[in-house]
Amino acid sequence: MGVRIYVWLLFTMMTVFWIVLLTIFLGNVSSQSVMQRINASGYGKHQLLTKELRPGAMNGFTANISEKGQYLYQLMKAAWPLKALPGDEGFGGAGVFINRSLLKEREKVIYDKGLENFGVNMLANERIPVRRNITLDMPECKNLTYDTAALPTAGIVLIFTDEMWSALMRTIFSILDAGPEELISEIILVDDASQKDHLGMPLDDYIRIFGGKVKLVRLPERKGLMVARNVGSQHVTGKVVVFLDGHSEVQKGWLEPLLHRIKEDDSVIAIPQTDVLDHNTFHYQFIKNSQQYMCGFEFDMRFKWIPIPPPDGIKRKSLADPVRTPIHMGCCLAASKSNFERLGRYDPGQEIWGCENLEFSFKTWMCGSRLEIIPCSHIAHMFRPHFPYKWVGKPYIFERNCLRVAEVWMDQYKVFYQHRVSNLQVSIYILSR
C-alpha cells in the first residue's frame, strides 16, 4: 500500500511540474487569478483549479487543433475542474431544492439577485459542480452502436449574452465530457456583446485551458441570435454545424445519433429531444414519452408540443426511429454545414430573438430539406422565467419577427397572424423574398 501511495504522489507531482513548466514556457502566470477577477458565483472545489495565463500565451494553438494543439489539449485536461462523484450534490443531473423562507437575509439577497440578473437560483447553482456526469438510461437506445470513425465531425456553436459563468461552463464541459472527442472539431463561443465583467478578459483567459478546442468570437454590438449563429457557423471547420444555447447540458451519447442521421441523409436537419434544466433547482428533467410528440405551433406563432399523427406513428418500427416534425423548438439543431449554407442560413433581417425557429423550419421544408427529431439524442435546455438581459432595437421585436416570417413564407395563411397583431403598432419592410 505504501508503494502505491508513493507512486501516486510521484505521478501527481510530475503532472503538476509539467503543467507549471508549460505555463512558464507559454507565458508567466498572472498575479491575479481568474477566480479573483470573475465577479460571479458558482466556484467551488469542482470549478476552478488553475490561474489565468498571460493574454496571448496560446495564440499559436487557437487556429486549428493541430498535432501540437491536440497534445496541449490533452495535457491541459489536468487543470480542468473535478467531475462530480456519487454523493456530490448535482451528481447525475440531480437538483438542489432551496426554501427561500428559511434563508438568512444575506442569502435572500443573493437568491433574489440571481433571479433578477440571470433568471436562476444562484444559491442552488453554487452547490452544483460544472461537471456532473449526466447519463440517462433509455432502453430503446442503449443497444444502438455507431461507427464513430465513419461519422462526420461537428463544430458546436454556443451563443450567449450576459450568461451566468457556471451555466456557460456546464454547457462546455458537458459537451467535452460527453464526446466523442474525435467527433468535435471545435466549440465556437459567440458572445453577442455581453456587458457583464466576468465574460470579458476572464473568459478570454480561462478558455486557454481547453488548448484551442474552444474558440471565442465576439460581436462588437448586439446582433441577436440569428446573426450570431450565422457568424458562428462560418468558423466551423467540421462537416456538421450544431447550434446550442449557452444554458444547456448534454448527456453522453447525444451527438452520435445526430451525426449518424445526417450521414445517412445530409438534407436532414436533425433535432435532439429537448429535456428541461430547471432554473430553480438545476435538476435535469428527462421528459418521458417524448418520443410520442413532435413540434408544432399555433397561429400566434408560439411553440407547442403536438401528438405524432397516427400515419407517421405506424411507419415507425421503434421508438428510436426519427420523427418528422413541422418545426423545431429553436434551442438546438444539427445540420450539414453545406446544407445549412444552401438553405441561406438564418434570416439576418430578424432581430434579437423570436420566430427564428419557424423561419428556418418553413425554409427547410419548402427548399428541399426536412426536419427530424432524433429520439436517442437528448439535451436539456434551461427555460428561464424571464429574459435576464436588455432587449435593444424597436418595440415588439417578437411580433415583428413573426410578421416577417408570415409575410415571406405563409402565403395566403399570413392573414391569420396579421389579424392577431393588427392592434399593435407593428410594421415591416421586405425588399425581396
Give the model confidence (pLDDT) of 360-405 as tens digits: 999 999 999 999 999 999 999 888 766 666 666 677 788 888 888 8
Paired residues of 324 in beta bridges: 372
CB 141 within 8 A of CB 375: yes
Q: Is 136 exposed, middle or buried (0-12, 13-18, 19+ CB in 10 A)?
A: middle
- Checking DSSP bridges between strand 184-191 and strand 214-218, what pairing results, if any? parallel
pTM of the model: 0.79
Q: Which of 27-31, 103-107, 127-131, 192-196 has the lowest mean pLDDT?
A: 27-31
CB 417 within 8 A of CB 301: yes
User: How far apart are alpha carbons 231 and 324 in whole angstroms?
Assistant: 28
- Count of CB atoms within 10 A of residue 73's CB? 19
Which of 280, 250, 3 is closest to 120 using CA atoms? 280
Query: pLDDT tier at 15 (50, 70, 90 boundaries)?
Result: low
Which of 343, 147, 373 is closest to 260 using CA atoms? 147
Q: Which residues contact 366 (CB under 8 A, 6 or more apart)?
A: 409
User: What average pLDDT score do residues 408-429 get?
Assistant: 73
CB 252 within 8 A of CB 180: no
C-alpha cell read off for 169: 461552463
Query: pLDDT tier at 73 (50, 70, 90 boundaries)?
Result: low
pLDDT digits (tens, 9 = 90+) for 268-325: 999 999 898 888 888 888 876 666 778 888 888 888 888 888 777 667 788 888 989 9
Query: pLDDT tier at 36 (50, 70, 90 boundaries)?
Result: very low
User: How far apart are alpha carbons 382 and 248 in whole angstroms?
Assistant: 6
Q: Do you know the residue count of the chain?
A: 433
Domain definitions of the chain by residue range: 395-433
CB 371 within 8 A of CB 340: no
User: How far apart are alpha carbons 168 and 165 in whole angstroms?
Assistant: 5
User: How far apart are alpha carbons 403 and 417 in whole angstroms?
Assistant: 7
User: How far apart are alpha carbons 304 and 287 in whole angstroms?
Assistant: 15
| Cα separation of the two ends of the chain | 74
CB 317 within 8 A of CB 421: no
pLDDT, residue 38, reads 34
CB 159 within 8 A of CB 228: yes
Instruction: Compute the C-alpha angle 119/124/127, nearest 5°.
Output: 135
